[in-house]
Copies of this chain bind each other. A is one copy, B any other.
Amino acid sequence: MNAQRPLNRFGVEPLAVLTRRLADVAGGRAEPDLVIAGARVLSVYSERILPEREVWIAGGRIAAVKAAGTHQGGAARYDARGGLLAPGLVDPHLHIESSMVTACAYAEAALLNGTTTIVCDSHEIGNVLDAQGIAWMLEDARAAPLNIYLTVPSTVPATSPALETAGGDLTPDKIAALFDAWPEAIGLGEKMDFVAVADGDPRAHAIIRAALERGRPVSGHIYGRDFVAPYAASGVTDTHEAVDRDIADDLLEAGLWIYLRGGPPTTPWHSLPKAIGTITDYGAAWKRACLCTDDRDADDLLEFGLDWVVREAVRMGIPKAAAWAMGSLHPATRYGLDGEVGGFGGGRRADLVLLDDDLVPRSTWYGGELVVEERRVTPRLEAALSRPYRYPAPATATVRLPDPLPALVPPLPAGPCTVNAIRTVLPGIELSHERVALAPGPDWAATLAAHGLCHVAVVERHGLRGSVAHGLLSAFGLRRGAVASSVGHDSHNLVVAGLDEADMRVALAAIEARQGGVCVVADGRVVAMVPLPVAGLLSDKRVGAVAAEMRTLKAAWAEAGCGIPYMGFNLIPLSVIPQIRLTDRGLVLVPEMRLVPLFEPA
Contact = CB atoms under 8 A, between A and B. Distances in A.
Contact of A22 (B20, B24, B29, B234): B234
Interface string A12-44: 001111011011111101000000000000010
B16 A212 contact: yes
Contacts of A43: 253
A282 B48 CA distance: 10
A44 to B, nearest CB: 9
Q: Is the interface of A mostly helix, strand, loop or mixed?
A: mixed
A388 interface: no
A283 B249 CA distance: 26
Nearest to A226: B27
A199 interface: yes
Contact of A197 (B16, B23, B202, B230): B23
A197 B27 CA distance: 11
Interface stretch (A62-70, A126-134, A459-467): A62-70
The complex is assembled from copies of this chain, and their number is: 2
B47 A14 contact: no
Contact of A23 (B14, B24, B29, B230): B230
Interface in A197-211: 197-200, 202, 205, 208-209
A64 to B, nearest CB: 4
A60 interface: no
Given A233-B25, A235-B347, A339-B237, A46 B252 contact: yes
Contacts of A20: 200, 202, 205, 234
Contacts of A233: 19, 22-23, 25-26, 62-64, 346-347
Interface stretch (A284-292, A542-550, A576-584): A284-292
Contact of A253 (B45, B217, B235, B339): B45
Given A213-B14, A233-B347, A208 B253 contact: no
A441 interface: no
A598 interface: no
Nearest to A41: B253
Contact of A19 (B47, B234, B325): B234
A76 interface: no
A417 interface: no
Contacts of A212: 14-16, 19
A29 B200 contact: yes
A200 B232 contact: no
A487 interface: no
Contacts of A348: 255
Interface string A184-225: 000000000000011110100100110011010100000000
A50 interface: yes
Contact of A208 (B19, B209, B345): B19
A66 B66 CA distance: 49
A367 to B, nearest CB: 16
A232 B26 contact: yes
A208 B21 CA distance: 13
Contacts of A597: none
A91 B215 CA distance: 21
Contact of A46 (B16, B22, B284, B339): B284
A284 B288 CA distance: 17
Contacts of A346: 229, 231-236, 254-255
Contacts of A48: 283-284
Contact of A15 (B29, B200, B235): B235
A77 to B, nearest CB: 18
A428 interface: no
Contact of A50 (B16, B229, B253, B256): B253
A344 interface: yes
Contacts of A254: 64-65, 345-346
Interface of A: 14-17, 19-20, 22-27, 29, 43, 45-48, 50, 62-66, 197-200, 202, 205, 208-209, 212-213, 215, 217, 229-237, 249, 252-256, 278, 282-285, 287-288, 322, 325, 333, 336, 338-339, 343-348
